[in-house]
Amino acid sequence: MALLPILTYPHPILKSVAEPVTEVTDEIRKLVEDMAETMYAAPGVGLAANQVGVLKRVFVIDVADEDATSDLKVFINPEIVEKDGELVFSEGCLSFPGASEDIKRAATVKVRALDLSGQTFELEADGLLAVAIQHENDHLNGVLMIDKVGTLKKRKISRQVQKALAEARD
């Protein structure tokens, strides 16, 4: 396993659309393993492949509480097939260190994806898991949380990221 570098805004790869995975290979499984390790080390609850510079339709999520057993979920070629309701959730993002913002999302989702063995599964989710699925799926489509807010909030998020990156360098 290896920790991967997480790209930060405004890296251009973050705005790129990821390509479908044609086959779940050992290379994809290794990517997932490295992404999970990177997400846990960050620490975060989700990570999309383009956040680590890989333009493949893959993301990992674990919304288990810190003191609970890990509940890693892997989504390969995810597709949100149903959305319902609405909620506003304060979101952060590993590609936007130091920033968080209220984002409007669907309250519940149903997602269809492949697992690590290449088998199709469907999952219905609500709460934080639904938010994380939508957030990471947006990444695969080149959509960032900053794209979901108005001009003033965009400036605020940009300042927060710049400040966090400057503090990390010091």
pLDDT of residue 66: 80
131, 133, 158 from 105: Cα distances, Å: 7, 10, 21
Q: Active-site residue numbers?
A: 136
Q: Structure tokens of 30?
A: 């290794």
134/137 Cα distance (integer angstroms)? 5
Residue 65's pLDDT is what? 87
How far, in Å, CA of 74 to CA of 93, rounded? 18
Domain ranges of the chain: 12-169
The three-state secondary structure class of 38 is helix
Query: What pLDDT does residue 168 have?
Result: 85
Average pLDDT for 101-112: 97
d(CA 32, CA 47): 10
User: Residue 47 has what pLDDT?
Assistant: 98
**pLDDT per position as a tens digit, 19-77:** 999 999 999 999 999 999 999 999 999 999 999 999 999 999 999 988 889 999 999 99
Q: Is the CA virtual torsion 115, 117, 121, 57 positive or negative?
A: positive
Q: What is the pTM of this model?
A: 0.95
| Mean pLDDT value across residues 134-143 | 98
Superfamily of structural domain 12-169: Peptide deformylase (3.90.45.10)
Q: What is the pLDDT of residue 67?
A: 83
CA atoms of 9 and 20, how far apart (whole Å): 23
